[in-house]
């Protein structure tokens, strides 16, 4: 957190004369690089979010395969859900935790997301006759009133203005999923049992593999 410094003109003049700056060149460069990194991360998250929903039909067709394949289920998709509340602000879908003295990020994984989407609160009927899945929500923590948006993987329709559920019904599954993810990571550090580098997988890699699997299955 930045510290606000107040000083009079005389002190400012003496400090400038002594070439003592509040933000040095190295600090300024570091701050600039941090801002660039944050912007790149936001752009990356938005690209991946669009990619996930553009291919949600493929993902839902292979739901069981994903849940039963560790490298798929552990893919980080913290960007997939957007949530928030009045007076509080955006709900974090990713947290920093300290595991055995190491600071790491823990967020919603693809396996957790698919589990959340099995809850009735996170499903709505689409006009096409299929199921759409909640992907954004907000509301008041005082009244519990909420509004949400959903996406249908079958007809690609976006549904807005869903108001039939309470805010708590959206928040609790996310909190439970994050708690489970934190417990898994903490257990891995405690037991010193970690996944092998070859077991890691990206969303892009998984989608390519699933598309290839469907192609091979369609070949005579």
pLDDT for the residue numbered 184: 84
Average pLDDT of the residues of the chain: 87
Between the CA of residue 18 and those of 1, 14, 27, 103, what are the distances in Å? 26, 6, 18, 39
Q: Can you give the pTM of this predicted structure?
A: 0.80
- The CA-based dihedral angle spanning residues 47, 50, 53, 57, taken in that order and rounded to the nearest 10 degrees: -80
Parse the chain into domains and list their residue ranges.
44-208
How large is the average pLDDT for residues 174-192?
A: 83
pLDDT for the residue numbered 105: 83
pLDDT for the residue numbered 161: 96
How large is the average pLDDT for residues 155-161?
A: 96
How large is the average pLDDT for residues 116-134?
A: 97
pLDDT for the residue numbered 182: 86
Q: Residue 193 — very low, low, confident or very high, per pLDDT cuts 50/70/90?
A: low
The closest of 141, 136, 138 to 87, measured between CA atoms, is: 141
pLDDT for the residue numbered 175: 96
- Please check the confidence at residue 189 and state whether its pLDDT lies above 50: yes
Top-confidence residue, 202 or 6: 202
How far apart are alpha carbons 157 and 113 in whole angstroms?
20
DSSP for 76-116 reads: B-TTS-EEEETTTEEPPSEEEEEETTEEEEEE-BHHHHHHH
DSSP for 166-198 reads: BHHHHHHHHHHHHHHHHHHHHHHHHHT----GG
pLDDT for the residue numbered 7: 66
pLDDT for the residue numbered 140: 95
Top-confidence residue, 125 or 218: 125
pLDDT for the residue numbered 1: 43
- Please check the confidence at residue 16 and state whether its pLDDT lies above 80: no
Lowest mean pLDDT among 28-37, 71-80, 168-177: 28-37
How large is the average pLDDT for residues 58-65?
A: 97
How far apart are alpha carbons 51 and 103 in whole angstroms?
29
pLDDT for the residue numbered 139: 95
């Amino acid at each position: 957190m930045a510290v606000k410094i107040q000083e009079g003109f005389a002190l400012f003049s003496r400090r400038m004369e002594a070439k003592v700056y509040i933000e040095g060149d190295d600090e300024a460069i570091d701050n600039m690089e941090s801002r660039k990194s944050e912007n790149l991360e936001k752009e990356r998250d938005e690209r991946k979010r669009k990619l996930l929903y553009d291919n949600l039909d493929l993902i839902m067709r292979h739901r069981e395969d994903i849940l039963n394949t560790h490298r798929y289920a552990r893919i980080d998709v913290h960007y997939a859900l957007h949530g928030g509340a009045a007076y509080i602000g955006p709900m974090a879908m990713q947290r920093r935790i300290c595991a055995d003295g190491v600071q790491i990020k823990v967020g919603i994984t693809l396996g957790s997301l698919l589990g959340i989407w099995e809850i009735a609160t996170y499903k709505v009927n689409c006009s096409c006759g299929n199921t759409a899945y909640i992907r954004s929500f907000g509301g008041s923590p005082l009244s519990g009133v909420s509004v949400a948006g959903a996406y249908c993987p079958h007809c690609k329709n976006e549904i807005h203005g869903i108001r039939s559920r309470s805010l708590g019904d959206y928040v609790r599954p996310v909190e439970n999923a994050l708690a489970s993810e934190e417990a898994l990571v903490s257990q891995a550090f405690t037991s010193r049992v970690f996944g092998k580098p070859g077991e890691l997988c990206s969303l892009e890699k998984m989608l390519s593999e699933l598309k290839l699997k469907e192609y091979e299955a369609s070949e005579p």
